[in-house]
Amino acid sequence: MSIRRVMPNVVAEDLAASKAFYSGFLGLEVRMDEPGFLMLCSPSNPTAQLTVVSGASDWDPNTCRTTMAVEVDDIDAVHAQAKAQGVKIVYPITDEPWGVRRFFVEAPDGGVINVNSHIRPNPTDQSDS
């Protein structure tokens, strides 16, 4: 499996306070700021990213279920591997309207992991530049 990045997912009640903390204290840059959803990244390492979502938002209620996102090169191969290994899939493989193909698995500790690939170019991806 070829992993492009691992991104923690924080569920927060107050997105404005989270935005101020993660950008002000940690110096992360805001790359996406949508109602109920923030994506922040390191200015010196764009693959170091963090998402913050509000449980009260209807932007994507499924994202609030996950503790992290793992971006892979070949989502279909990883999905087949998960099925072959008997990994518990808790959200089916889905092409989302915002340009990712993803599925969720449950880790042994009960955490839910969003496994995804971009199916359209990611405007925040600067890892190849």
Torsion 24-41-120-68 (CA) sign: negative
Determine the pLDDT at residue 91: 95
| Domain-embedded: residue 128 | no
Q: Which two tokens stand for residue 22?
A: 């993660």
Determine which helix (DSSP H) or strand (DSSP E) holds 34, and give its type and residue range.
strand 29-34
Task: Give pLDDT tens digits for 68-119.
Answer: 889 999 999 999 999 999 999 999 999 998 889 999 999 988 889 999 998 8
Q: Residue 46's domain is classified under what CATH number?
A: 3.10.180.10
- Structural domain including 21 reads 3-118
Determine the pLDDT at residue 128: 41
Look up residue 116 and give its DSSP letter.
E
Domain total of the chain: 1
Q: Which two tokens stand for residue 5?
A: 């990045």
Average pLDDT along the chain: 86
Length of the chain: 129
pTM to 2 decimal places = 0.74
